[in-house]
Structure 1
Amino acid sequence: MAWSAETDGGSVMTDPTVVVRDVRVRYHSPSSDAAAMRAVSPATRVFLRATGQQPKVDVDALKGVSLVARAGESIGILGRNGSGKSTLLRIIAGLETPLTGSVMARSTPVLLGVNAALVPDLPGERNVILGCLAMGLSKAQARELLPEVVELAGIGKAIYRPMKTYSSGMASRLRFAIAAAANPDILLIDEALSTGDAAFKERSERKMAELRKAAGTVFIVSHAAQTIEEMCSRAIWLMEGEIIGDGPGPEIAHDYRWWSWNITKNEFAKADEILARCREKWAPREPIIADPELYKRQPRHALNV
């Protein structure tokens, strides 16, 4: 993480784009655990069994996560399935409300995946227009961006076919191209870059470099360490809703890859050593935000309450 200055009280950051403060997210999730069934009242137990339902338990998806992103950063978020990666992106995007904590952003983050605006029965060309309109662009701007979107997605004449005929990879590439073509200040990408070939990978890297050069901030969620290592200047390792480490992309990705390898080999003692070392070396630091304007912003999630 880049910092502008050092003080006795901590590091000072002068150009934050996203500030996440002590965010906690809790879901009520169905559970087949016998202990969960025993924990409910007898009457509830009878009702659940009669209706074929399962009792719900509290699942903490994020446990006091804090981070600060700045202009020009590409931040990878690493972690296994269920670690809280996608939940963190949705919180930053303002699509979910945390149990506690807050999120502030200098501009509206764009979460890759404008699925709500896209219509499978319509051709890709029409869906590009709809996706751009959903991000606040005019119809004229959307039509102007169409050739760029087609080139970035690499789907050629398929742009004139209904989206329901696309493979999952083609659809993911088109969603990325739509979101990136709008040149958002803050772009959130969830696992989309693993769906393309080498040519798409090169085009997407070039596009993200353009966004960063224009002082944009890019978040990339992945469980593939190589993707983060190659594309991100900074990485955050999440495990069970907590940040294990926050540091340079290549170093965090290396630790994560080595930890994963040891887990698959049942070398749990070595894996624990890697975790402890990463926690010690790359523990998140609480910065001093020298940006009064950002504090005037409503928390992202407050806009959706």
Structure 2
Amino acid sequence: MSEAVFGAALDADAEPTVVVDDVHLTYRITGRHASAGAPAALKRMVQRQPPPGMREVHAVRGVSLIARRGEAIGLIGPNGSGKSTLLRAIAGLMTPESGAIYTQGQPSLLGVAAALMNDMTGERNVVLGCLAMGMTPEEVKEHYDAICEFADIGEFISLPMKTYSSGMAARLRFAIAAAKSHEVLLIDEALATGDAEFRRRSEARIRELREAAGTVFLVSHGLSVVRETCGRAIWLEKGRVVADGEANAVVGAYEARHDPKAVEERLAAAAAGGKLWSAAEEPSSA
């Protein structure tokens, strides 16, 4: 696949916050029959042999990008395209097989599986989450009410996290992470489980974080969220960049390949009077 570029999303003179340089990421899956006792494991270690049943997945293949201060970047692509794996590497949770990743400050990863303590109450998780992000106890007190109001889980805030629905837990995670401005905020499908009102508030908060001179990466299968929230989009497929540029154009090209029905519906709406693209933003094949 050749990479397509759809215009510049931001002034190239803006300060870089993330540089990904020809990165390859591989993770290993071990089969359930891999264990054969300590002697066999020791022998494999000495002989540098992989465990039986181990399979390597080359998830990201030579990705390069530069993210700049003030950008909100959507990562789109089919399941298994390497989006979440790339975010984990930017967050420092995976080491590249080759290539390098450079970041300004410590990126903060927020995902639907982001770790909060299930046996602790929402109240306690708010405090611990804020302290983990580097807030002082005074700042935690200052932000506490706003976090609870944003999460909108009512009396559940005093109950253990394990009693929450997936949507309630996702709202609380996002509310905690968004309480502080981040130099680099990585969001992995965390908006997918909220209702429409929560998504609107979350999108508004992402814009505020971006305007506060941060950089936001958003992984989402909700293409409308990427259109409304991000100025730039990067389309990944089979671990490679297919297109990188202005969000509407990249999302339009992605829909043209993977969801032509959505393109037909959008063009029909435009013909009926709801203009959705300028001529420069018409989707084209990558």
State the TM-score, normalized to the length of structure 2. 0.78
1:277 aligned onto 2:275: no
For 2:236, which of 231, 235, 238 is the aligned residue? 238
Measured in 1, the distance between the counterparts of 2:255 and 2:109 equals 26
Q: Residues 238-284 of structure 1: CA distance to partner in whole angstroms, max 9, x if unpaired? A: 011100000111111122223222599xxxxxxxxxx9932xxxxxx
User: By how many angstroms is 1:114 displaced?
Assistant: 9.4
8 Å contact kept, 1:225–1:256: no
2:278 equivalent in structure 1: none
Residue 127 of structure 1, aligned match among 121, 125, 135: 125
Q: Which amino acid aligns with 1:161?
A: L
More helix by share: 1
Q: How does 1:1-305 map to 2 (within 5 A)?
A: 1-2=8-9, 4=11, 13-30=13-30, 55-113=53-111, 118-262=116-260, 277-278=285-286
- Distance in 1 (CA, whole Å) between partners of 2:143 and 2:115 is 17
Counterpart CA distance in 1 for 2:31 and 2:120 is 39
Letter in 1 for 2:72: S
Indicate if the aligned counterparts of 1:113 and 1:179 stay in contact, CA closer than 8 A. no
Moved over 4 A (4+): 113-117
Per-residue CA deviations over 1:97-151 (Å, capped at 9, x if unaligned) read 0001111111111101496752112110110011111112122212221111112
Query: Which residue identity does 2:121 align to in structure 1?
Result: P
Shift of 1:3: 5.6
Q: Which runs of 5+ in 2 are unaligned?
A: 1-7, 33-39, 42-50, 263-282
Q: Is the 8 A contact 1:114 1:134 kept in 2?
A: no
**C-alpha contact 1:72 1:216 (8 A) present in aligned 2:** yes
Q: Distance in 1 between matches of 2:114 and 2:149?
A: 23
Q: Secondary structure at the match of 1:112?
A: strand
2: CA distance between counterparts of 1:192 and 1:3?
25
Deviates more, 1:221-230 or 1:207-216: 221-230
Partners in 1 of 2:145 and 2:203 — Cα distance? 18
